Structure 1
């Protein structure tokens, strides 16, 4: 890519779609978001993506746009551009063709993949994993996503499910995940998992400052409130966060022995918790990993923050265009 070119990065979420223009050096030229409007159906979502893409391209000014990257929730066939399966955060999104509409409207190369995998590519290219060839990224949000980079390329697997660490089993007969299976990591350390555990403990007679902070209305409870309460010394919140972080460290040890990464990166809103999250993660990882050399792979917070998915989508387009 020449110095005066850029790519479009699109991060599709259940609530908003984020659009950006990124240069080959990783410079973010412009970005904005607009509502997804998933409740209005897939056709409306596609139209919002097309309208937003047209608008962001209009901001390119002296730069020539030479490709588009789109990250979407769900299991994505990156070759055909079809959403093979998607959780209900975007209704009726499963089965949608998301590559072809962009290709037809703009006539530019279009690259699509799972949104968490795009965040992985962003961190690997311009974030905490820059310069590394083998890395694992875990995204802690409403759910838990992730991905693996091997030899500098995203590893998708035979059925596009590689790196789904949120669905690693960490507790036999444990809490039920949103996918319906018991004991998955996502049932514990996702935002929903943390909130669910606290509600269960309070319903069982536990006490916490969170009851007062929510005015007794636990529908107002959020993951950040739990993290803040744990930092302030609340015993119930602290126990929930420590157990959940322990399970992440266990899962990372398992994945590290399979993929042998140089670095493991934790991203997403919950990752902003800092030491109260990372310390128990590291202790559990050290406990379960068996080979001394693997312990040298650091577990670090992400650098790109909430823009990782959008920047990663643009980075995928940049990388694929270089290879073509």
Structure 2
């Protein structure tokens, strides 16, 4: 099988072709997400359709698997809620549009849910009974994994932890990569910072970077505490581009949690970085695609059996 997997975030859209075993075939593409915050619009659906068309010229695709920011209805394959990070995204009909235009199956799942599924299938959450997966980027996303199944909640919004109130703010406004960069810019007067630049400054001994990183870790742990108390997961897996700096951030987070938790009894068995980094979402989208196809085949068999 050749499955096109597309991961849509607030900053970029990443894609590659995957086998049914979750192996990338090495035709990776990346483009900036076209979003106009002033106008409250985006061109994401158009970008995705262009991508599918481009890959279709080189491959006989068996389907399209999409991992996307926002609250996703995985049955309808559309965006049913999106916050301020991607304006005008609510109502985007990926499944309907792609299946109509290209006549191939398409399945869509939330990006952090996809990352959790990817980690459960082939990565750090493999074999776990319970795990919480968090992704740090323009915001903070969360996914709850119970016995290999995503807890979606009644309106598919389970795990939307970025909106947790922390010190009068949304958690993601204090502890996302965006927040880290903004803090460093405020301390230094510099502009156009990225997480990579801030973390390199930290490694170079920059005091402003040291303060910003410590503030970021403290804010992150403040929001993580209620998650740990509520779900008591075996594993906490943290993804996002900033976790390329896991050698710095994971020990800091572990240390801060031990200071803040009521007792080490509440600690997860493991707190680790995502095994596949930013690829987790694409791998998990493939897993979701395969599971949804399997479910559809099973339902067809049951219908056929009941008709005999």
When the two structures are superposed, what TM-score results if normalisation uses the length of structure 1? 0.79
Gaps of 5+ in 1: 174-181, 203-210
**Residue aligned with 2:4, SS:** strand
> What's 2:183 paired with?
197
- Gapped regions of structure 2 (runs ≥ 5): 297-308
Aligned partner (choices 91, 95, 101) of residue 95 of structure 1: 91
State the partner residue of 1:153.
149
Q: Is the 8 A contact 2:232 2:268 kept in 1?
A: no
Write the deviation string for residues 260-282 of structure 1: whole angstroms up to 9, x where unpaired.
32211111121122343222311
The SS at the match of 1:28 is coil
In the alignment of these two chains, the number of paired residues is 293
Normalised to the residue count of structure 2, the TM-score between the two structures is: 0.83
The verdict on how the C-alpha distance between 1:91 and 1:169 changes in structure 2, with shifts beyond 3 A counting, is closer
Shift of 1:188: 2.1
C-alpha contact (below 8 Å) 2:7/2:281 kept by paired residues: yes
Deviation for aligned residue 1:18: 2.2
The corresponding residue for 2:304 is: none
Q: Does the alignment pair 1:270 with 2:237?
A: no
Q: 1:187 aligns with which of 173, 193, 200?
A: 173
1:168 and 2:164 correspond: yes
Aligned to 2:201: 229
Aligned to 1:56: 55
Alpha-carbon distance in 2 for matches of 1:284, 1:165: 19
Counterparts in 2 of 1:238 and 1:296: CA distance versus 1, 3 Å: same
Give CA deviations for 1:90-114 in whole Å, capped at 9, x if unaligned. 4422222222001212333322122
Q: Distance in 2 between matches of 1:56 and 1:226?
A: 36
Give the Cα–Cα distance (whole angstroms) in 2 for the partners of residues 320 and 230 of structure 1.
44
Are residue 83 (structure 1) and residue 79 (structure 2) matched?
A: yes
For the pair 1:241 / 2:213, whether they are aligned, the reply is yes
1:300, distance to aligned residue in structure 2 (A)? 0.6
> Counterpart of 1:31?
28
**CA 1:22 to 1:272, structure 2 compared with 1: closer, same or farther past 3 Å?**
same
Judging changes above 3 Å, is the alpha-carbon distance between structure 1 residues 18 and 222 closer, same or farther for their aligned structure 2 residues?
closer
Which residue pairs with 1:319 in the alignment? 291
Could you say which residue in structure 1 is the equivalent of 2:126?
Answer: 130
Q: CA RMSD in A?
A: 2.7
Alpha-carbon distance between aligned partners in 1 of 2:201 and 2:31, rounded to the nearest angstrom: 32
Distance 1:243 1:152, change over 3 A: same
Q: What is the CA deviation profile of residues 114-165 of structure 1, one whole-angstrom value per residue up to 9, with x for unaligned ones?
A: 2222222222222222232321111111222121111111111112222123
Structure 1 residue 303: deviation in Å? 1.7
